[in-house]
């Protein structure tokens, strides 16, 4: 019995040595190399590699110089610790999105290139100083896209057409939202922004040409 235990102990030591030798070979033998890391996340720093942070960047958002309200919302998303929380926040936005009136859910207000059906309507008005600004209404038959369009509606309503036109689409990456969405959803979000830019530009031009001073109702705070 003692001989069997002794033999088993010796075999365990031998196996342990073999495992260490194999791992040492795979990790570069006697060199100082570390195990490989996923592509795009490795950066050399001194003698050992470090992980590159791929998440959102509040600093990058400041460089983009977004309209005040959109910057506030984008910064809030950027500070969230992970994509899952951003996803949940979008679903919360979907719940807060007021339904669009049926008269605005027409083909000319439909956003092209979205996985879900998305409508965006623009309402121009003049502020107290006579400057033309626009409000938006938006809705979708998908919960996630409804949250995305509500984010843009809240962030861009009350801005001038020129402010909206200068919004850099790269802000989507800086918020970290790109990590929470599939490529199809990301493209749809960018198409929403593109459509809102065009509508603001076109409607504001017509509004200025007509000399109208009718003000639209300000978007509901939510």
Q: Which of 4, 15, 17, 114 is catalytic?
A: 114
Helix (H) or strand (E) holding 153: helix 143-156
CB atoms within 10 A of CB 148: 29
Burial class of residue 197 in the structure, from the number of CB atoms within 10 Å of its CB (0-12 exposed, 13-18 middle, 19+ buried): middle
Contact yes or no for 30/24 (Cβ under 8 A):
yes
Contact yes or no for 67/159 (Cβ under 8 A):
yes
- Asked if 114 is an active-site residue, the reply is yes
Token pair listed for 154: 């809240």
Contact yes or no for 77/176 (Cβ under 8 A):
yes
Reported residue count of the chain is 222
Distance separating alpha carbons of residues 56 and 202, to the nearest angstrom: 33
Q: How close are the terminal C-alpha atoms of the chain, in Å?
A: 77
Distance separating alpha carbons of residues 21 and 28, to the nearest angstrom: 11
- Catalytic annotation, residues: 114
């Amino acid at each position: 019995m003692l001989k069997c235990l002794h033999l088993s102990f010796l075999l365990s030591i031998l196996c342990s040595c073999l495992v260490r030798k194999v791992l040492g070979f795979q990790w570069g033998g006697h060199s100082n190399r570390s195990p490989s890391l996923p592509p795009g996340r490795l950066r050399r720093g001194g003698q050992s590699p470090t992980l590159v942070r791929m998440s959102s960047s509040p600093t990058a958002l400041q460089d983009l110089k977004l309209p005040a309200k959109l910057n506030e919302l984008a910064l809030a998303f950027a500070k969230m610790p992970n994509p899952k929380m951003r996803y949940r926040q979008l679903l919360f936005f979907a719940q807060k999105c007021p339904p669009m009136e049926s008269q605005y859910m027409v083909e000319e207000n439909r956003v092209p290139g979205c996985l879900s059906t998305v409508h965006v309507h623009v309402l121009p008005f003049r502020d107290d100083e006579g400057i033309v600004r626009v409000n938006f209404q938006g809705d979708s038959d998908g919960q996630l896209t409804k949250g995305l369009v509500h984010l843009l509606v809240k962030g861009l309503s009350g801005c001038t057409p020129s402010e909206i036109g200068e919004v850099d689409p790269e802000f989507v990456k800086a918020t970290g939202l790109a990590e929470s969405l599939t490529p199809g959803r990301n493209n749809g979000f960018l198409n929403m922004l593109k459509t809102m830019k065009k509508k603001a530009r076109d409607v504001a031009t017509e509004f200025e040409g007509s000399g109208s001073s009718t003000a639209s109702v300000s978007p509901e705070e939510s």
